[in-house]
Amino acid sequence: MILPIFVYGTTVLRKKAVDITPDYPELKQLIQNMFDTMEKADGVGLAAPQVNHAIRLFVVNGAKFADDYVNEPELRNFRKVFINPKIVEFSGNDVSFSEGCLSIPGLYEDVIRKTEIEIEYLDENFVAQKEHLKGVCARIVMHEYDHLDGVLFVDRISPIKKRMIKGKLDAILNEKTHRNYKMRFASKKMSV
Ligand code: ZN
């Protein structure tokens, strides 16, 4: 099932998400819905707060980027579920990369982040995993991980740049943005 994506201005995007246990209601269905929603919207990652669940869960699918980043073949099969993740180490260099977000439609800005991370998480079967990620895979995960702490990529750009994009952010707040996927705006009544 395709879920509406909550966009910039909605309170759920600013909440600190909480860890979950395997008995979280209809978790399997939620994960499937998140994959369906992400893929329909042509995204490479989707965090649970973006579909109005303030829980520490996100899904990724890097396949869309595989043709653009041929030296990172691991993107092709980078389709995963991350539950209760914890980035235990950031390493490598600081690099700039143009990011977008399904919750901030139509906006792309360079964000500086580290190139490598070490992450511990539970997979969809609640089996503990530990991975070292680099390049675009690490970038996708760091962006989604931020969502679990209520952080958006526009929080990580300079104040000057943020002023420059204020008009675009206001357009989202005023519901003057259109996409080919379902969105839920701040002014609409939210069901929690
Ligand atoms: Zn995002």
Neighbours of 13 (CB within 10 A): 22
SS3 138: helix
DSSP-assigned beta bridge partners for residue 129 = 121
Assigned CATH for 5-191? 3.90.45.10
The CB-side HSE value for 107 (13 A sphere, CA atoms) comes to 25
* Predicted pLDDT of residue 178: 86
Distance from Cα 122 to the centre of ligand 1, integer Å: 21
**How far apart, in whole angstroms, are the C-alpha atoms of residue 23 and residue 20?**
8
Q: Note the maximum CA span of the chain.
A: 45
Give the Cβ contact number of residue 95 at 10 Å: 13
Instruction: Find the DSSP H helices in the chain.
Output: 27-40, 135-148, 159-164, 166-173
Q: From the CA of 45, how far away is ligand 1's center (Å)? A: 7
Closest CA to 104 of 148, 41, 160, 57: 41
Q: In angstroms, what is the span from residue 150 Cα to ligand 1's centroid?
A: 10
pTM reported for the whole predicted model: 0.95
Q: Cα(46) to centroid of ligand 1, in Å?
A: 7
Query: Which of 88, 72, 20 has the alpha carbon at shortest distance from 49?
Result: 20
Report how far ligand 1's centroid is from the alpha carbon of 101 (Å): 4
pLDDT at 188: 53
| Residue 38 · residue 61 · CB < 8 Å | yes
CA quadruple 186, 25, 87, 115: dihedral positive or negative?
Answer: negative
Which residues are known catalytic residues? 144
Backbone angles phi and psi of 123, in degrees to 5:
-85, -175
Structure tokens at 52: 């109005």
User: Contact 57/85 with Cβ under 8 angstroms?
Assistant: no
For 29-45, give the DSSP string. Answer: HHHHHHHHHHHHTT-SE
pLDDT digit string (tens) for the chain, length 192 residues = 999 999 999 999 999 999 999 999 999 999 999 999 999 999 999 999 999 999 999 999 999 999 999 999 999 999 999 999 999 999 999 999 999 999 999 999 999 999 999 999 999 999 999 999 999 999 999 999 999 999 999 999 999 999 999 999 999 999 988 899 999 999 754 444
* Contacts of residue 104, Cβ cutoff 8 Å, sequence gap at least 6: 7, 8, 152, 153, 154, 169, 172
Q: What pLDDT does residue 192 have? A: 42
